[in-house]
């Protein structure tokens, strides 16, 4: 879940602690003004009664960190992002003041918030099977006679390797989020928690001078064997159990992250630890120090550059929604409803992208394959295909993409194509070159057909394949025109042919391919116009440039490529 996806929130589930009536009333009034239903659930009750998997939710906690931890427990398995309102006292997780509640919600609904994926841990033992966002503590059980022995011995293993025997009052295994609690008090390091997937093993009041905290990757399986009775507590006692001698506790990174919403109204991490823990490196300094003078100010007039950033963020957010639905297409439960899944995928991705663009550029026009055209008042129009390659998507094939282009006065000037399954981001601005995941890309320089691999789009009678296969190193048909253009741009193919094209399918890929050095024409050799009207077939021939004239001559000899126009499945 990326922050931009928050712009399509459909409902809110609020976990409400006692004495939070005023905050709940404020939340409900705001939501009513925005037409968003609010389901209020008291802390301790289950959210399943108000949750529907097909809806887009925001989870809001009204209370302190205890309420927030309960929100993590219930929201995280359902991958609902969490916004914490601090209606309690001291809080690290729920850090938004009630007076900023509506402003923070406005920012989230505009898609202006960010979402951090916080590492959780999973704990399994006799009578315990749970997750936690902070820590698990295994500590000695107080003896009935105060003069009896007050220590515990714990044997620890990491991925089957014996770490050692810990003797003292116990140990804590914490996530980066939990590093400012028990672990810090016991002498462990503070971990920056954003997108940090590590765990640390911290001895509690150890009897050995040389024992220090140990950092491991979240994929590490930690096993702790109790040599006597001990108490097990997860997240400060939200789950607790008594261990007997030889009981084994298994701890590792959880499969799901906690999705933490951050707005400009939250305290950032270092401000929090400075104000709440006396982080001494900030003493006598402003909260932001000299950071402002280290950041270069962007020119607000650079509309196209801003548009590229917004397009990339919108594509990432929409891509996550598509990945979630793509995994259902081949499951036994959903096989009979593939068309419904594809329809939902188109709608969700389109809704995310168009909502983000409307929020950021209210005067721009928008043309999408999946929704009604919106006419803008500026010279800019967006062309969007939220799911290029629907046939692939419906069959569980990973070759589908999201295509977003910005057009200025009928000429594409910016293009972004995102492949969700491979997490590849192709992008270009007219005159500034093309990139793949931020790195420059360019076409190949092969000059003869027998050296080249070709890509084919919709080929109604198989003519392109039959006429070009023997003369080249092969013809591939991948099912996504946008990806075909990007693969040409990146040098994964040397040339391509599309029987017919539509602006939303190819406008972004055209910018990317041209900026990478590709030559794009019609079969007659005329400059290809991706915005051309469709009174006639809009054919596309693309190449690395070096082989272009040879390819055009070869196609000109094959008159049966001019087949009657048919409708592609995509």
Residue 535 known to bind ligand: no
- The reported pTM is 0.79
Integer CA distances (angstroms), 1 to 37, 185, 226, 352, in order: 20, 33, 39, 11
From 224, 253, 282, the end of a domain falls on 253
Q: What is the DSSP string of 366-400?
A: EEETTEEEE--SSSEEEEEEEEE-HHHHHTT-S--
Look at residue 47 in the predicted model and tell me its pLDDT: 96
316 and 429 in a single domain? The answer is yes
- What is the domain extent for residue 510? 449-561
N-terminal to C-terminal alpha carbon distance within the chain: 27
Look at residue 421 in the predicted model and tell me its pLDDT: 95
User: Residue 89: inside a domain, yes or no?
Assistant: yes
Which domain CATH number covers 91?
Answer: 3.40.50.10330
Look at residue 567 in the predicted model and tell me its pLDDT: 45
331 and 385 in a single domain? The answer is yes
Please list the ranges in the chain whose pLDDT falls under 50.
287, 290-301, 331-336, 563-569
311 and 427 in a single domain? The answer is yes
148 within 8 A of 252, measured Cβ to Cβ: no
| Alpha-carbon span 353 to 320, nearest angstrom | 12
Look at residue 291 in the predicted model and tell me its pLDDT: 45
| Alpha-carbon span 265 to 499, nearest angstrom | 52
Residue 346 known to bind ligand: no
230 within 8 A of 140, measured Cβ to Cβ: yes
Domain count, the chain: 4
Which domain CATH number covers 188?
Answer: 2.60.200.30
Which domain CATH number covers 495?
Answer: 3.40.190.80
Look at residue 292 in the predicted model and tell me its pLDDT: 45
Residue 505 known to bind ligand: yes
Q: Is 29 helix (H, G, I), strand (E, B) or coil?
A: helix
195 and 106 in a single domain? The answer is no
180 and 66 in a single domain? The answer is no
Residue 65 known to bind ligand: yes
237 and 358 in a single domain? The answer is no
422 and 375 in a single domain? The answer is yes
Helix (H) or strand (E) holding 317: helix 303-326
Angle between helical axes of 303-326 and 338-360 (0-180°, round to 10) = 160
User: Residue 268: inside a domain, yes or no?
Assistant: no
User: Residue 369: inside a domain, yes or no?
Assistant: yes
Show which residues are catalytic.
65
398 and 415 in a single domain? The answer is yes
Q: How many CB atoms lie within 10 A of CB 458?
A: 18
492 and 554 in a single domain? The answer is yes
User: Residue 550: inside a domain, yes or no?
Assistant: yes
Look at residue 329 in the predicted model and tell me its pLDDT: 58
Residue 385 known to bind ligand: yes
402 and 497 in a single domain? The answer is no
405 within 8 A of 414, measured Cβ to Cβ: yes
Look at residue 369 in the predicted model and tell me its pLDDT: 85
Q: How many CB atoms lie within 10 A of CB 245?
A: 10
Look at residue 565 in the predicted model and tell me its pLDDT: 44
56 and 89 in a single domain? The answer is yes
330 and 414 in a single domain? The answer is yes
Q: Is 86 helix (H, G, I), strand (E, B) or coil?
A: strand
Beta strand extents in 389-504 (DSSP E only): 401-408, 411-419, 424-429, 434-436, 439-440, 454-456, 475-476, 495-498
């Amino acid at each position: 879940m990326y922050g931009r996806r928050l712009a399509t929130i459909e409902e809110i589930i609020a976990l409400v602690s006692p004495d939070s009536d005023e905050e709940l009333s404020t939340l409900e009034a705001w939501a009513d003004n925005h037409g968003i239903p609010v389901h209020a659930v008291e802390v301790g009750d289950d959210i399943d009664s108000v949750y529907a998997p097909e809806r887009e939710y925001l989870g809001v906690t009204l209370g302190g960190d205890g309420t927030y931890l309960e929100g993590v427990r219930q929201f995280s398995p359902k991958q609902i992002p969490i916004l914490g309102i601090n209606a309690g006292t001291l809080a690290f997780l729920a850090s938004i003041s009630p007076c900023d509640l509506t402003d923070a919600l406005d920012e989230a609904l505009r898609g202006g918030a960010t979402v951090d994926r916080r590492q959780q841990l999973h704990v399994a033992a006799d009578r315990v099977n749970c997750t936690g966002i902070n820590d698990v503590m295994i500590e000695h059980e107080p003896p009935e006679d105060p003069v009896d022995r007050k220590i515990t011995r714990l044997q620890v293993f990491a991925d089957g390797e014996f770490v050692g025997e810990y003797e003292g009052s116990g140990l804590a295994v914490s996530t980066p989020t939990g590093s400012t609690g028990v672990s810090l008090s016991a002498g462990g390091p503070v971990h920056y928690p954003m997108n940090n997937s590590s765990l640390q093993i911290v001895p509690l009041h150890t009897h050995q001078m040389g024992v220090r905290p140990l950092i491991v990757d979240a994929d590490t399986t930690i096993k702790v064997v109790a040599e006597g009775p001990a108490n097990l507590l997860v997240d400060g006692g939200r789950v607790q159990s008594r261990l007997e001698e030889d009981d084994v506790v298994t701890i590792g990174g959880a499969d799901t992250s906690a999705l933490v919403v951050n707005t400009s109204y939250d305290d950032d991490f270092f401000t929090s630890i400075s104000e709440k823990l006396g982080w001494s490196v900030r003493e006598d300094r402003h909260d932001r120090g000299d950071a402002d003078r280290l950041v270069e100010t962007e020119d607000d007039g650079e509309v196209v550059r801003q548009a590229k950033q917004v397009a990339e963020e919108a594509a990432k957010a929409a891509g996550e929604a598509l990945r979630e639905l793509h995994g259902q297409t081949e499951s036994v439960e959903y096989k009979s409803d593939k068309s419904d899944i594809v329809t939902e995928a188109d709608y969700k991705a389109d809704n995310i992208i168009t909502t983000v663009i409307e929020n950021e550029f209210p005067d721009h026009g928008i043309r999408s394959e999946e929704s009604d055209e919106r006419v803008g008042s500026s010279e800019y129009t967006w062309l969007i295909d939220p799911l290029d390659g629907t046939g692939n998507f419906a069959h569980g094939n990973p070759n589908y993409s999201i295509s977003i282009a910005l057009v200025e006065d009928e000429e594409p000037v910016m293009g972004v194509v995102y492949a969700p399954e491979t997490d590849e981001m192709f992008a270009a601005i007219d005159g500034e070159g093309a990139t793949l995941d931020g790195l420059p890309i360019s076409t190949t320089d092969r000059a003869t057909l027998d050296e080249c691999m070709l890509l084919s789009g919709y080929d109604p009678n198989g003519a392109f394949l039959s006429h070009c296969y023997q003369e080249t190193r092969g013809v591939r048909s991948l099912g996504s025109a946008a990806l075909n253009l990007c693969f040409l741009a990146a040098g994964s193919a040397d040339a391509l042919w599309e029987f017919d094209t539509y602006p939303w399918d190819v406008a972004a890929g055209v910018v990317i391919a041209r900026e990478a050095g590709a030559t794009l024409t019609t079969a007659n050799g005329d400059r290809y116009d991706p915005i051309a009207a469709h009174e006639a077939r809009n054919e596309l021939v693309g190449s690395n440039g070096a082989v272009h004239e040879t390819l055009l001559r070869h196609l000109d000899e094959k008159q049966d490529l001019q087949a009657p126009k048919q409708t592609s499945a995509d």
